[in-house]
Amino acid sequence: MRRYWLGAAEGAGEFIDVAEEMVELNDYGPCRQLSVFENGQLKLQILTSDTTAPASALAAWLRCRWRIENALKYLAAHLGFDAICDYLAEVGPDTRVIDNPARKNANKAIRDAQAGLADAERAYAQLLESDLPVPHKNAQIPAAQARIAAARTQITAAKAHRDTIPTKITANEHAPDARRAVLRTGRRALQMVLRLLAYNAEHWLASRLNAYLRDPREYRATLRNLLHQSGAITYTPTTVTVTLDRPDTPRIARALALLLDELTATAPRIPGDRRPITYRLAET
């Protein structure tokens, strides 16, 4: 087992312990197994065919993958990232690509012609093996051969016709009156951008709060609760003051007060308003 330091933004980071071994998998062969430990406890195991990448890098990559999935899950659960809030739609021609029905019919014509050729060839073989007198048999052979030749010509013509027909067409090419209702993507895209901005702002606030709280396991949940903290907003001709009620837990109240001081120092403003926003925590 080896210990690695995983650096992060703003100088943060952590140590992880990774145990590595080679294992043999049935019907596959040798494979590399990594066991990642945090605080002496097994957190995850990695099975990979990559035998050259550093163990710490593989562990970091996999953890980042789970962070992405957790972020998408959080966006859907708390910010409605996958919700459709605007059902206004525009009705226009249905331009979705579909299989061309004419080509399906052309393929069916080819199969029918091939079946006709098979029937003609079977009839010819049965004629040759029949017990008919030779003069009668010889008299029917030209017609049987002509039937086979006609069937082959029909197959060639059917294939040539099929090749002139496109495989895919749009729905309104097949049915000129086909219509489709499409949601207004511009509004949906704007909503998604606003949700992502809200998520990024919350992520930044959580990181800044934890700089004072020092609780890596609960700081995100703590911030989510603080986002619903009651308070009051006071408007004056020159300033906007946001006063939040003091949390009951002293360490959370101290961390929140320091975070509010940091926000006030950046002189934030409401878009379109020149007045700076002052954040403060109520005394009691």
First to last CA, the chain: 51
Average pLDDT, the chain: 88
pLDDT (tens digit per residue) in 107-165 = 999 999 999 999 999 999 999 988 888 888 899 999 999 999 999 999 999 999 999 99
Percent of the chain clearing pLDDT 70 (strictly above): 96
- Cα dihedral angle (216, 221, 222, 225), rounded to 10 degrees? 170
Residue 13, pLDDT score: 62
Extents of the domains making up the chain: 2-78, 97-179, 192-281
Q: How far apart are CA 138 and CA 200, in angstroms?
A: 89
- Of the candidates 97, 108, 115, 117, the one whose C-alpha atom is nearest the C-alpha of residue 161 is 108
pLDDT (tens digit per residue) in 160-214 = 999 999 999 999 999 999 998 887 777 778 888 888 999 999 999 999 999 999 9
Q: How far apart are CA 127 and CA 140, in angstroms?
A: 8
Instruction: Retrieve residue 185's tokens.
Output: 């993507």
- Residue whose entry in the numeric block shows the structure tokens 């972020």: 71
Q: Which residues pair with 99 in a beta bridge?
A: 168
Residue 14, pLDDT score: 67
Q: By three-state DSSP, how is residue 275 classified?
A: coil
Neighbours of 113 (CB within 10 A): 20
What's the mean pLDDT in 71-76? 86
Residue 88, pLDDT score: 76
Q: How far apart are CA 228 and CA 200, in angstroms?
A: 17
pLDDT (tens digit per residue) in 208-242 = 999 999 998 899 899 999 999 999 999 999 999 99
pTM score: 0.51
Q: How far apart are CA 269 and CA 102, in angstroms?
A: 63
Residue 8, pLDDT score: 56
Note whether 192 and 79 are within 8 A (CB). no
- Of the candidates 51, 33, 52, the one whose C-alpha atom is nearest the C-alpha of residue 42 is 33
* Residue 167 DSSP code: S
Note whether 279 and 263 are within 8 A (CB). yes
